[in-house]
Amino acid sequence: MKMKRVVLIGFRGVGKSTLAKTLAAQLSVPLISTDAQIEAVTGMPISQFVAANGWPKFREIEQSVIAGLPENEPAVIDCGGGVIENPENMRHLAKHSLIVWV
């Protein structure tokens, strides 16, 4: 059986990113950080983007990033703490992933 994606979710500051790096290395799969992808899309740090554009626009981009994640490739996905605020994000992630609350 092919390995599913592993998605780490949880509150900010609990160690998701540290755990994601270790887990991806142990499983020999890519590590995908949704925050890093959002920063690549916006061209600025998240704090700066939110200050200039607000949380609703940030969440819109976050949803787009989540929807664009590869669905059938093994990976460890490190999600930002607020990903659970959007039920559509969680539906999409649950469809193709093992979700782990950290």
Given the structure tokens 């890093």, which residue do they identify? 36
**pLDDT tens digits for range 47-99:** 999 999 999 999 999 999 999 998 889 999 999 999 999 999 999 999 989 99
d(CA 38, CA 42): 6
Domains and CATH numbers, the chain: 5-101 (3.40.50.300)
Contact (CB, 8 A) for 9 and 35: no
Quickly state the pLDDT bin for 25 (edges 50, 70, 90): very high
pTM of the model: 0.91
Specify whether the CB–CB gap between 72 and 9 falls below 8 A.
no
